[in-house]
């Protein structure tokens, strides 16, 4: 059977027992179960499908190029992980869509899965280092056999963009015009649905933010209180500057103050927000923005701790996607210089144009940093009066506690 | 078609930048020829995720991550085997005697280390699954176990993990999992020349070892003896003190180490025990490359030796990361495949599985630069001149890209 000690020519029987420390202890006990029936590893993972799907075009055309195998496997690994990201993303969207997110016990699940997406993207970023072991010269040897296949035709990548919330009209022109051309039949329908009908993660998070406790004008009235505090604080700052003796420094300080004040004036100007929304520079509704700022300022309150982690993870997704795009750009530039892409785009130049805030879905969360204020200006909470910070909603009639693992 | 700017209700295009060259191009996908999804056989790859928990009517969300993670590992194992076999082939066919092939060898071995680095990183993704969530579907995995990973065993075998050095449970059972063609392939991989054996033969051919040539080993031994003698004399001249005693003691220990180094029967003894894996001559070749690594002819060979150690290190880190995660997931429970689980895996994080252990241990024999035999470029030309023609291999290397 297995383990015949005389199998190897060179060795003497007395030679094998040198490292005796763990030969006879419990770590080596056990019975091999594989022969007892039941699904085995290779079947469980359908490895017969996975491990036979590497067909080199260069080999089919009679000119097998070694490095094409790496090219194929790398892209297949990316697509496997895209599938996993979509799995997690859809499950989170479902929790929001079905209303289950109103039971705040589901926040752990939401957070964990969004964070998992972040971890996968980190891995996908590291993965470039492996493909970068291929030289441009070696790529040149088989690139001709690839045409017109191109990453531009990756369905999962487009689904990902759409379901997170990349808006169609924000895509750069070449992307906007052509990206749907690559898909037909069922794929095309799926894509269209994800773009136009289904609620994106951005939209679902927007609705959730609008429901942030504390925004109610008849309740805590966060926005009203904040506005009052900020302008009181600004008045105080202005007075201090005015008390200074006339000098160049005083003028500079006053100019700085005015800039500072204008930023806050814009914060409370809802018409300005609508304008920025229409130009695509803002993506969240005014009310959702208020909710996000509330969560930022009161992140240490028990009820907002996990929501704050969620907002942070959403920004991580944007950051990692844009780093992914940039890593991709750098590698493509090295591989093909300024040549056109196999799919027909201008190649490097096109890809470079997609490394842009147009593709930043949660851009508003980043920009909230414009409106941070000293801690003393943040409206004070009174635990006895404002108990909503401690009391989560944990019962929703449409949802029963721990039934759905999904 | 696509691109109607008025489709989205809220936005309009006044802010879009002017089009420039970056936005030019025509979409080629409609013009026939293989497209992305077909090229990568995504219909197969992306339809291979079948949750056992779902089959049994109790769909558990996290099982999908478990499946995809393992499939990604197996994809990369395939890639490593692709690179490894191509390198072994270069040695087996003797193409490695044409030193122009060294770049290819070193690049591919280095690529293997880059993939292993990724595979170690990959644990962080599976670690986002809690042991509680794993518990929810583990029962549906039945007897499936990583112990049955065919590619992993091929990998170990082709790199050079010695069958007789595997820990007991591993040695006794690992071949039981494979039948028919897989079993034959595995057996054959144990009989074919492993990377270790091929590197050993290559090291034995290191220029400079020839007794009637540079005779590195003889010269080194003479220099070391001389060096030790001088050191001893200087110590003896010191006035008596505790420090002198300590230093003499150290010198004695050093002398013992070097005496053992030049004792071929001691080497045989350690080979038999499994504590050394390379032949005595190969060891000499490795030490030569280390000492003379800056000579042009040895620079790339030195990079190769470094990468080989990197493979061992990364495989061992992989094993350890795996152990840590399994401990967290199943505590001290037995493995699905039947092993003791965590305890078994832990026992495989051991030097028994370190294939190029001798390269690590070379550091035991390092000497001060002054003791390294001097090379005279007039007399000893071999370290500047590579062999780049071998009659069994046609020089124009781009004919066979493999």
DSSP class per residue in A271-339: HHHHHHHHTTS--S-HHHHHHHHHHHHTTTSHHHHHHHHHHHHHHHHHHHHHHHHHHHHHHHHHHHTTP
The chain A residue lying nearest B134, using CA atoms, is: A405
pLDDT category of residue B22 using cuts at 50, 70 and 90: confident
DSSP code of residue A197 = I
User: Poorest-confidence range of B123-137, B163-177, B268-282?
Assistant: B163-177
Q: Nearest Cβ partner of A344 from B12, B27, B128? A: B27
Alpha-carbon gap: B220 to the closest alpha carbon of chain A (Å): 29
Q: Which of B344, B342, B330 is nearest to B139 (CA)?
A: B330
> For residue A83, which residues of chain B lie inside 8 Å, CB to CB?
46, 49, 68
Are A361 and A166 in contact by the 8 Å Cβ rule? The answer is yes
Q: Are B347 and A28 within 8 A, CB to CB?
A: yes
Note which residues in 82-101 of chain A have CB less than 8 A from chain B.
83-84, 87-88, 91
Tell whether A112 lies on the interface with B, counting CB pairs under 8 A. yes
CA distance B231 to chain A (A): 36
Region B103-129: mean pLDDT is 97
Instruction: Give the whole-angstrom CA distance, residue B236 versus residue B240.
Output: 9
Measured between CB atoms, does B141 come within 8 Å of chain A? yes
User: DSSP state, B374?
Assistant: P
Comparing CA positions, the residue from B88, B48, B42 lying closest to residue A72 is B42
Interface of B with A in 27-46 (CB under 8 A): 27-31, 33-42, 44-46
Which of A276-285, A358-367, B171-180, B261-270 is least confident? B171-180
A275–chain B Cβ distance below 8 A for any pair: no
Residues 143-202 of A with CB under 8 A from B: 146-156, 167-170, 172-174, 176-182, 196
pLDDT for B172 equals 86
CA distance B291 to B372: 7
Note the pLDDT of residue B6.
Answer: 44
Q: What percent of chain B has pLDDT over 90?
A: 75
pLDDT value of residue A15: 38
Is the minimum CB–CB distance between B103 and chain A shorter than 8 Å? no
What separation in angstroms does the CA of B240 have from each of A254, B228, B230, B232, B249? 80, 20, 18, 14, 13
Under the banding of pLDDT at 50, 70 and 90, the label for residue A12 is very low
Q: Give the burial class of B191: count Cβ atoms within 10 A of its Cβ; 0-12 exposed, 13-18 middle, 19 or more buried.
A: exposed
Q: What is the pLDDT of residue B142?
A: 83
Would the CB atoms of A177 and B3 count as touching at under 8 Å?
yes
What the block records as the tokens of A221 is: 């009235």
CB crowding A389-404: b at 16 or more within 10 Å, else e: beeeeeeeeebeeeee
Contact between chains at B29 and A119 (C-beta distance less than 8 A): no
Q: Looking at residue B19, what is its pLDDT? A: 66
The predicted pLDDT at position B224 comes to 96
If you average pLDDT over residues B303-308, what whole number do you get? 98
Question: Is the minimum CB–CB distance between A55 and chain B shorter than 8 Å?
Answer: yes
Q: Spell A32-62 as b/e; 16+ CB within 10 A means b.
A: bbbeeeebbbbebbbbebbbebbebbbbeee
pLDDT score for A10: 42
Residue A68 confidence class, pLDDT cut points 50, 70, 90 = very high
- Which pLDDT tens digit goes with each residue over B38-67? 999 999 999 999 999 999 999 999 999 999
Contact (CB<8Å) B272/A15: yes
Question: Is the Cβ pair A39, B50 closer than 8 Å?
Answer: no
Confidence of residue B120 (pLDDT cuts 50, 70, 90): very high
Q: Encoding tokens for residue A247?
A: 């000098």
Token match 């992306």: residue?
B46
Say whether residue B335 is in contact with chain A using an 8 A CB cutoff: yes
Q: CA-to-CA distance for A229 and B56, rounded, in angstroms?
A: 59
Chain A residues near residue B7 by CB distance under 8 angstroms: 168-169, 196
User: Stretch B101-105: mean pLDDT, rounded?
Assistant: 95
Q: Calculate what percentage of chain A has a pLDDT beyond 90.
A: 72
Q: What is the model's pLDDT at position A401?
A: 39
Q: What is the mean pLDDT of chain B?
A: 89
Please give the structure tokens belonging to residue B261.
């180094």
Nearest to B340 among A12, A27, A130 (CB): A27
Question: Helix, strand, coil: what percent of chain A each, to 5?
Answer: 65, 0, 35
Residue of A nearest to B140 (CA): A39
Question: Looking at the DSSP assignment, which residues form a beta bridge with residue A345?
Answer: B25
* Closest Cβ opposite residue B39 in set A87, A149, A152: A149
Residue A50 forms contact with B (CB below 8 Å):
yes
The whole-angstrom distance between A312's CA and the closest CA on chain B is 17
The reply to whether residue A73 touches residue B24, judged by beta carbons under 8 angstroms, is: no
Locate the chain A residue with the closest alpha carbon to B86: A66
Cβ of B274 and A350 within 8 Å? no
The per-residue pLDDT for A405 is: 54
pLDDT band at A87 (very low <50, low <70, confident <90, very high): very high
Give yes or no for A60 touching B (CB within 8 A): no
Tell me how far CA of residue B238 lies from CA of A183, B227, B248, B255, B368, in angstroms. Answer: 86, 17, 11, 19, 22
Residue B1 in contact with partner chain A when CB distance is under 8 A: yes
User: Hey, are the CB atoms on A27 and B145 less than 8 Å from each other?
Assistant: no
Between the CA atoms of A142, A143, A149 and A152, what dihedral angle is there, to the nearest 10 degrees? 140
Q: pLDDT band at B177, cuts 50/70/90?
A: confident
**What is residue B192's DSSP assignment?**
S
Mean pLDDT of all residues in B302-329: 96
Nearest CB to A39; choose among B86, B110, B142: B142
Look at residue B402 in the predicted model and tell me its pLDDT: 62
At A346, which helix (H) or strand (E)? none
Q: Quick check: B173 contacting A, CB < 8 Å?
A: yes
Mean pLDDT of A140-144: 94
Mutation target to probe the A interface, by most A beta carbons within 10 A, among B15, B63, B75 is: B75
Contact between residue A146 and residue B39 where contact means Cβ atoms under 8 Å apart: yes
Is B60 in contact with B137 (CB distance < 8 Å)?
Answer: yes
Q: What is the mean pLDDT of residues A187-199?
A: 92
> In sequence order, which ranges of B129-279 are alpha helices (DSSP H)?
131-138, 150-159, 168-173, 180-191, 195-204, 216-237, 242-261, 264-273
Q: What is the ipTM of this complex?
A: 0.86
pLDDT band at residue A217, thresholds of 50, 70 and 90? very high
Nearest CA in chain B to A343: B28
Distance from CA of A202 to the nearest CA of B (A): 14
Cβ atoms within 10 A of the Cβ of B355, count? 22
Sort out which chain B residues have CB atoms less than 8 A from A342's CB and list them: 28
Task: Determine which of A55-59, A257-261, A323-327, B237-241 has the lowest per-residue pLDDT on average.
Answer: B237-241
Least confident of A135-139, A196-200, A254-258, B24-28: B24-28
Q: Read off the pLDDT band of A406 (50, 70, 90).
A: low
Which of A179, A318, A289 is closest to A223 using CA atoms? A289
Would you call B59 and A76 a contact, using CB atoms and an 8 Å cutoff?
no
Residue B398 pLDDT: 40
Flag whether residue B231 sits within 8 Å of chain A, measured between CB atoms. no
Q: Look at residues B202, B183, B184 and name the one whose alpha carbon lies nearest to residue B193.
A: B202
Residue B11 to chain A, least CA–CA distance (Å): 5
pLDDT of residue A215: 94
pLDDT of residue A37: 67
- Inter-chain touch A34–B39, beta carbons under 8 Å: no
**More confident site: A53 or A389:** A53
Q: How far is CA A196 from CA A148, A167, B57, in A?
A: 28, 10, 33
CB atoms A73 and B22 under 8 Å:
no
Residues B162 and B273: their CA atoms lie apart, in Å, by 12
Q: To 10 degrees, the CA torsion angle through A138, A139, A140, A144?
A: 130
Range with the largest mean pLDDT of A130-144, A373-387, B334-348: A130-144
Interface test with B, best of A26, A148, A150 (most B CBs within 10 A): A148
- What pLDDT does A386 receive? 85
Burial of B40 per CB tally in 10 Å (0-12, 13-18, 19+)? buried
CB contact residues (below 8 A), chain B span 237-266, against chain A: none
Considering chain A, what is the average pLDDT of its residues? Answer: 89
Q: Is B89 helix (H, G, I), strand (E, B) or coil?
A: helix
For residue B118, pLDDT over 50 is answered with yes
Across A70-97, average pLDDT: 98
Query: With 50 as the cut, is the pLDDT of residue B327 above it?
Result: yes
What's the predicted TM-score (pTM) here?
0.88
B148 touches chain A (CB under 8 A): yes
Confidence label for B77 from pLDDT (cuts 50, 70 and 90): very high
Nearest CA in chain A to B41: A53
* Structure confidence at residue A105 (pLDDT): 92
pLDDT recorded at residue A244: 87
Question: Own/partner pairs for B47-56, CB < 8 Å, 24+ apart?
Answer: B47/A49, B48/A45, B48/A46, B48/A49, B48/A50, B49/A46, B49/A83, B50/A46, B51/B137, B52/A39, B52/A44, B52/B137, B52/B140, B52/B141, B52/B142, B53/B136, B53/B137, B53/B140, B55/B140, B56/B140
pLDDT at B31: 62
Mean pLDDT for B167-173 is 86
Place of tokens 């194992």: B77
Interchain pair B65, A84: CB under 8 A: yes
Q: What are phi and psi of B67, to 5 degrees?
A: -65, -50
């Amino acid at each position: 059977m297995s383990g015949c000690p005389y199998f190897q020519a060179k060795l003497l029987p007395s030679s094998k027992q040198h490292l005796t420390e763990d030969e006879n202890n419990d770590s080596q006990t056990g019975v091999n179960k594989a022969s007892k029936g039941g699904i085995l590893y290779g079947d469980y993972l359908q490895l017969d499908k996975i491990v036979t799907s590497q067909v080199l075009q260069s080999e089919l055309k009679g000119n097998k190029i070694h490095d094409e195998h790496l090219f194929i496997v790398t892209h297949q690994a990316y697509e496997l992980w895209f599938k996993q990201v979509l799995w997690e993303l859809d499950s989170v969207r479902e929790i929001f869509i079905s209303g289950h997110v109103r039971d705040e016990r589901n926040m752990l699940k939401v957070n964990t899965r969004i964070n998992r997406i972040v971890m996968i993207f980190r891995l996908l970023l590291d993965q470039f280092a492996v493909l970068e072991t291929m030289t441009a010269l070696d790529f040149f040897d088989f690139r001709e056999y690839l045409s017109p296949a191109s990453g531009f035709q990756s369905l999962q990548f487009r689904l990902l963009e759409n379901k997170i919330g990349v808006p169609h009209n924000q895509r750069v022109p070449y992307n906007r015009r052509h990206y749907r051309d690559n898909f037909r039949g069922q794929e095309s329908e799926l894509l269209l649905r994800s773009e136009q009908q289904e609620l994106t993660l951005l939209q679902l998070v927007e609705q959730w933010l609008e429901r942030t406790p504390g925004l109610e004008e008849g309740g805590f009235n966060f926005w009203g209180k904040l506005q009052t505090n900020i302008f009181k604080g600004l008045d105080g700052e202005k007075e201090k500057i005015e008390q200074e003796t006339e000098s160049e420094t005083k003028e500079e300080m006053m100019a700085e103050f005015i800039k500072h004040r204008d930023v806050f004036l814009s914060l409370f100007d809802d018409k300005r927000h609508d304008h920025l929304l229409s130009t695509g520079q803002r993506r969240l509704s005014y009310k959702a923005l208020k909710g996000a700022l509330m969560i930022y300022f009161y992140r240490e309150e028990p009820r907002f701790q996990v929501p704050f982690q969620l907002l942070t993870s959403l920004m991580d997704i944007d950051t990692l996607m844009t780093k992914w795009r940039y890593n991709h750009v750098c590698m493509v530039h090295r591989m093909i210089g300024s040549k056109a892409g196999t799919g027909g785009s201008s190649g490097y130049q096109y890809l470079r144009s997609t490394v842009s805030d147009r593709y930043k879905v949660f851009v508003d969360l980043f920009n909230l940093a414009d409106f941070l204020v000293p801690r003393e200006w943040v409206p004070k909470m009174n635990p006895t009066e404002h108990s909503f910070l401690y009391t989560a909603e944990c019962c929703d009639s449409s949802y029963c506690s721990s039934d759905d693992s999904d | 078609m696509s691109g109607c700017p008025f489709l989205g209700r809220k936005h309009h295009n006044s802010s879009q930048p002017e089009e420039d060259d970056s936005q030019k191009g025509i979409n080629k996908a409609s013009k026939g020829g293989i497209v992305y999804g077909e090229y990568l056989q995504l219909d197969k790859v992306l339809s291979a995720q079948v949750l056992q928990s779902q089959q049994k009517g109790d769909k558990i969300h996290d099982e999908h991550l478990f499946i995809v993670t393992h499939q990604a590992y197996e994809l990369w194992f395939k890639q490593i085997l692709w690179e490894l076999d191509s390198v072994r082939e270069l040695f087996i066919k003797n193409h490695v005697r044409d030193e122009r092939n060294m770049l290819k060898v070193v690049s591919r071995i280095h690529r293997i280390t880059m993939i292993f680095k990724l595979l170690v990183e990959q644990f962080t993704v599976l670690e986002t699954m809690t042991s509680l969530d794993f518990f929810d579907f583990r029962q549906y995995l039945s007897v499936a176990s990583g112990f049955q990973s065919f590619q992993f065993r091929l990998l170990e075998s082709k790199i050079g993990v010695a069958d007789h050095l595997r820990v007991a449970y591993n040695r006794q059972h690992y071949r039981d999992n494979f039948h028919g063609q897989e079993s034959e392939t595995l057996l054959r991989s144990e009989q074919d020349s492993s990377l270790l054996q091929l590197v050993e033969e290559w090291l034995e051919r290191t220029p400079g070892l020839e007794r009637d040539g540079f005779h590195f080993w003889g010269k080194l031994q003479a220099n070391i003896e001389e060096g030790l003698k001088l050191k001893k004399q200087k110590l003896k001249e010191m006035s008596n003190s505790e420090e002198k005693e300590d230093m003499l003691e150290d010198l004695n220990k050093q002398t013992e180490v070097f005496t053992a180094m030049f004792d071929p029967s001691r080497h045989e003894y350690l080979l038999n025990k499994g504590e050394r894996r390379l032949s005595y001559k190969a060891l000499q070749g490795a030490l030569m490359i280390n000492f003379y690594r800056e000579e042009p002819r040895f620079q790339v060979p030195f990079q190769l030796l470094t990468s080989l150690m990197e493979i061992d290190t990364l495989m061992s880190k992989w094993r350890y990361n795996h152990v840590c995660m399994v401990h967290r997931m199943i505590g001290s429970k037995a493995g699905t495949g039947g092993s003791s689980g965590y305890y078994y895996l832990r026992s495989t994080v051991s030097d028994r599985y370190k294939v190029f252990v001798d390269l690590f241990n070379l550091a035991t024999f390092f000497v001060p630069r002054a003791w390294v035999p001097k090379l005279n470029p007039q007399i000893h030309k071999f370290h500047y001149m590579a062999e780049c023609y071998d009659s069994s291999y046609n020089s124009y290397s781009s004919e066979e890209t493999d």
